[in-house]
Structure 1
C-alpha cells in the first residue's frame, strides 16, 4: 500500500490495523473490565489484618497474593488496550478519555494497596522461605525472591511514605528540562534549498542529515547557540537530578548512585566498568571510520556537524509490506520453523498497525502484555528500506514477549530493560546478513554496510561515551565536587576528543551536547543499549554459525522472561556479559564493516 495522502483513522482498511480482540472484544467489554478492576483493591484489602498479624497463615498469604496478581494482570490488559487505542489516534477524545480513566483507576488502586509490599517484606525471612517451597506459591516464588532481595534497602513505613510523597517532586528537573527544550526554546529557522525550515528537537536530525554542508552548519550553530543561551539553567537542572540520585542512594544505604541503579537487575558494577574499558581499548576502528567519513565526504576538515549526514544516501528500493514480511521470514530461518511461522503470521494477521494515519503516534514500538498478541505500531513506508529493519526490530521485541508470556507465570514473565534490546537487534542483524548476502546491487550493499556501521556506532560507541559521562558526573558529586556548567563542559569535551579521535574538529559549543541528552535524567540507563547490542551481535553469530544447541540456548533466553536475572539469562543463551569478550566482538564486527566500506567507497 503506497500512500499518496495521510488518511483519517476511519479510512484505514481493517487489514492494515492491529486486531485488538485478543485483549477485548470492544470498548464495552473494556469498560466492564475497568469496573471490575476498580473493585479489586477491596478484595486485597480484606486480607490486610491477617497479613499484618504475627499469626499470619500461608492460606491467607496465598489468597492475598492471588487477588493481587489477578488485579495486576487485569490492569496490564486494560492499560495495554487503552494505550494502543490512544497511540493509533491521539486526536480521538474517546481514546484520551479511556486512557485517562484507566490511569485514575490504577493510581487509586496503587494508593489503596500500598501497604502490601512493605507488609510482605516485614514477614520473617525464615517463614517466607519455608512458604516459598510450597506448591501453592510456585507462581509467586521468583517475584517474592526479588522482593526479599530488596529488603536491606527498604526503610520503615514512615520513611517510605515520605519518599513516595516526594517522588512526583523529584521529577521536576526532568520535567523542567523537557518543557524548556521542547516547548520554550525557539531555535528559529534554517535556510535550505527547498526554502526555510523550522528548527526544533524533532527536525534537528533531519536537517543534520542534509547533504548541503551549509544547512548542517547553520542548523548546528543555531541549535547549540540556543542551548548556549540557557546553559547555566540546564546545568543547574542536571546537577539537581544527579544530586537527587546521590541523595536517594545515601538515604537507602547504597554505596553509590550507580550501585543503586544496577542492584535491582543484579548487574555487577564490573559489567559497567568492563564495557567502558573495552570500548576505550577499541577506539581505533571508530577513529578509522571518521577518517573514512572525511574522505568519502571530500572534506578538508571533519567537523562535528558532519557526523550525521549518511555516508551513502537512501537507495531506491520498493518493498511492499507483505514482501517485507516474507523477506524477514527468510532472514530469520536460522531460528527455525516455529519462530518464523509465529512472527510472519503475527506480522500479517493482526499484530501490526501498519501505516500512518492522522493522529497516529510517530515512530514504532512493540507493546506486548501477558494476555493478547504482542502488538506493534509502525508507520511503514514501502520506499524506505530502513523500515524493513524497523519491522524486524519490533518483531524481535514482540517474539521475546510472546515466548516470555507463554513460559512464565504472570508475576515473573516480564523481562528487564537490560535484556530488551537483545532480541530486537538480534533480528536486525540477521536481516542485515541476509540482505547483504542476497544483493548484487553495489549501491544497496554500500547502503547496508553504511547503515549498519551507523547503527553500531550510535548504539555501542556513543552510548558508552554517554555512560562514561554519567558515571563521572555522579562520582564527582559523591566526592563533593559541584556540577557547574564549566565542570560539565570540561568533562564532556575531554570525552569528545577521546571518542572522536584526531580527525574531528570541534566547535566552541560542541561540549554543550553533554547537557542536552534527555536520557541523562534517567540515570544509568544508556549503558544497556551498548551491552544489549554487544550481546545480540555475539548471539547472532553463535546461532548462525552453530547448530541446534546454540539455537536452543537462545530460545532458553527468550523463554526466561523475568524468571532469571539478566546476566544469568544471557549466560544461558551463550554470552557472558561479565567478560569483555562480547563487547570486544562487537567492536570487531564494527571494524570489519569499516574495512568493507573502505573497499567499496574509496
Structure 2
C-alpha cells in the first residue's frame, strides 16, 4: 500500500484491510432497527420521571437507562466509523447525522434524570448504593454526587441537551474543510508529481531533499493561509461554545470545567507548563544539536521532522509491524499480546489511506464489539509502527475495561487513556533500540525517541498553553481573530523552539489546523500521559510480577476510579511534578547521547 502513487477509493481497498463492523451490527438493517429502538427505550426511561425518589423505582430506571445508552453507544459508533472511513460517502454521513439526532433527542427527553437523582438526599442515596443490587450503578451515582454543584434544573439541562448537536458545528465544518474540501495539489519528487495530502505531508517533511520539504511546507500552509479567517472563526466558535457551557453551569473558568469532573487539580495543568518551561535549556540545546546534525546553515520549521541519521530506509510491512508489537510488548504477557495481535490482523483495524478517509489515527472502542482502530499505515514510515502500538494500547485498555466493569462505569478518562497508549510506544522504542543492527540505526532510534518525547511532552504542552491562553483571552473580554490567534501562536513557537529556529511568515498557521483544539483541554493529557507511561514502563520492565499486576489493575479499573487514583494504583502519582521531571530528565539523557554522537 505504501508504494501507491495515487490514493485509492474506498471500494478499491480489500475487505481484509478494512475493519469488520459486524461485531457491532451484522447488517445495516440491524443498525436501522437499533436506531429506531433508541426512541422507544428513551420513552420507557422517561416514564420514570417524578418517581426516582423510591429505591426500587430508581433501580428499575437505572437498568433501563443503562440499556438505552449501551444501545446508543454502538449505534452511534457504527455510523461514526463508517463516516470516518469515507467522509465523502453521503449515506454514511446521513447515518451519523441520524444517530446523533437520535442521541440528542434521547438526551433532551431524559434531561430530568441526573437532576432528579441528585435531588434525593445525599445520605439516602449513599445508603441505597451500598446494597448489592446497586453494584453496577454505585460509581455512576457517586460521580453524579461529585458533579451535583454544577448540575442544573431539568429545564436548563434540557436546553443544553437540545443544543449539543449544534455545538459540534464548528468542528464538523473544520473537519470537512480540512479532510475533504482543501486541495493541496502535488509535490514533484525526482521528476514525479506525488499527491500532497494530510497523510502524505508528514512523509514529505522527512524527505532528505530539503527543497522537497520546503515546497511541501509552503504549499501546505499556503492553502491553510488562504482560509485563515474562516479557520479562525471556526476555532473562535468552538472556544465561545466552551465558555457558554462553562458559564451556564457556573464554573469559574473553562479549565476548571474541563478538569473538575475527573477530579484533576488545576495545579496538574499549571505544573505541567511550569515544569516544561523550567527545562527549556535542554529543549533549545536539542535544536542546536539537531541543526548541527543536519549540517544546515539555518534551522527551519520544515526541517524538524527529519531524523538525525541519513540514508536509513526501514521498510516494515503491516504484518511485520504486528510482530514487532508482539515482541516489544511481551513483558505484559501472552494474553495481552495474543489478544492485541489477533485483533490487529482480524477485523479491529482499518489499515490504509483511501480517498475521503479521515487523516491520522484513533481507537474507538465500545462496551460491546471490537475496540476499533483507524490507521493510515505506510510501510516506509517507521513511526507508523509506533502509531500501531499507540492505538493498540488504547484498544487494549478498552478491552480490559469492558471485560472487568459494568457498562455504567467501564469507560475510562482520556487522562488515563494516553498512559496506556504511550506505555506501548515506550516498549516498542526500547525493543527497537536494543535490536538495532548498527550504530547509525541506534542513533536513528535515539533521535526518533527524542522527537517523540518532544512531540508528546514539549509540543503538546505548548498546545495546551495555547488553548489556555486562547480561552483566557475570551474569558477576559478579548475576541479571537486570525490576527490575535496567529500572534499568540507565533509567540509560543518562538518561546519553545528557541533561538536556533527560523520560522516562515505562515508558520503560525499551524495553530489553526490542529483538530484536537476543538476538544478543549484535551492535548495536555498526551503530555501527562507520556510522563506517567515512561515511569510505569520502567517500573514494569525493571520490576517483577507485582509491578506488572499493578499495571493491569490500572488497565482493568476502567472508569471505576478517578484518574489520579487509578494511576496511583499503577504506581505513579500525577498530582506531583516528579513524573514530568523524570521524563524530561530522560529526554536530557537522550540529548546528551545524541550530542556525543553528533
After TM superposition, the score normalised by the length of structure 1 is 0.88
In structure 1, distance between residues paired with 2:568 and 2:194: 49
Match of 2:364 among 339, 353, 367: 367
What corresponds to 1:334 in structure 2?
Answer: 331
What corresponds to 2:261 in structure 1?
Answer: 264
Higher mean Cα deviation, 121-130 or 265-274?
121-130
Query: Secondary structure of the equivalent of 2:51?
Result: helix
Return the offset for 1:306.
Answer: 2.5
What corresponds to 2:561 in structure 1?
Answer: 564
Instruction: Name the CA shift for 1:363/1:495 in 2 (closer, same or farther; >3 Å).
Output: closer
In structure 1, distance between residues paired with 2:177 and 2:323: 45
In structure 2, distance between residues paired with 1:307 and 1:3: 24
Q: Residue 590 in 1 paired to residue 591 in 2?
A: no
Instruction: Name the CA shift for 1:318/1:196 in 2 (closer, same or farther; >3 Å).
Output: closer
What corresponds to 1:551 in structure 2?
Answer: 548
Instruction: Name the CA shift for 1:80/1:513 in 2 (closer, same or farther; >3 Å).
Output: closer
Higher mean Cα deviation, 253-262 or 200-209?
200-209
Instruction: Name the CA shift for 1:69/1:193 in 2 (closer, same or farther; >3 Å).
Output: same
Return the offset for 1:376.
Answer: 2.8
Q: Residue 389 in 1 paired to residue 389 in 2?
A: no
What corresponds to 1:43 in structure 2?
Answer: 44
In structure 2, distance between residues paired with 1:165 and 1:34: 18
Return the offset for 1:90.
Answer: 6.3
In structure 2, distance between residues paired with 1:95 and 1:238: 25
Q: Residue 446 in 1 paired to residue 447 in 2?
A: no
Structure 1 residue ranges without an equivalent (≥5)? none
Larger Rg: 1
Higher mean Cα deviation, 299-308 or 201-210?
201-210
Match of 1:504 among 501, 516, 525: 501
Aligned length: 597
Return the offset for 1:58.
Answer: 0.9
Q: Deviations over 1:221-274 (max 9, x none)?
A: 555556666656655554554444344433322222211111111110100111
What corresponds to 1:255 in structure 2?
Answer: 252
What corresponds to 2:520 in structure 1?
Answer: 523
In structure 1, distance between residues paired with 2:195 and 2:15: 35
What corresponds to 1:344 in structure 2?
Answer: 341
Root-mean-square deviation (Å): 3.4
Contact 2:199 2:359 (C-alpha < 8 Å) held by counterparts: no
Contact 2:50 2:116 (C-alpha < 8 Å) held by counterparts: no
Higher mean Cα deviation, 429-438 or 497-506?
497-506
Query: Secondary structure of the equivalent of 1:245?
Result: helix
Q: Deviations over 1:529-559 (max 9, x none)?
A: 1111111111111111111121111111101
After TM superposition, the structure 1 = structure 2 runs for residues 403-482 of structure 1, keeping only pairs within 5 Å, are 403-482=400-479
Q: Deviations over 1:285-331 (max 9, x none)?
A: 21122112211221112233322334345743444444433332221
What corresponds to 2:373 in structure 1?
Answer: 376
In structure 2, distance between residues paired with 1:291 and 1:108: 56
Q: Residue 116 in 1 paired to residue 117 in 2?
A: no
In structure 2, distance between residues paired with 1:75 and 1:346: 24
After TM superposition, the score normalised by the length of structure 2 is 0.88
Higher mean Cα deviation, 472-481 or 539-548?
472-481
Contact 1:314 1:447 (C-alpha < 8 Å) held by counterparts: no
Q: Deviations over 1:76-106 (max 9, x none)?
A: 2333344445555667776556555544443
Q: Deviations over 1:98-120 (max 9, x none)?
A: 55554444344333333322322
Query: Secondary structure of the equivalent of 1:75?
Result: helix
Query: Secondary structure of the equivalent of 1:376?
Result: strand
In structure 2, distance between residues paired with 1:133 and 1:325: 44
Query: Secondary structure of the equivalent of 1:255?
Result: coil
Q: Residue 72 in 1 paired to residue 37 in 2?
A: no
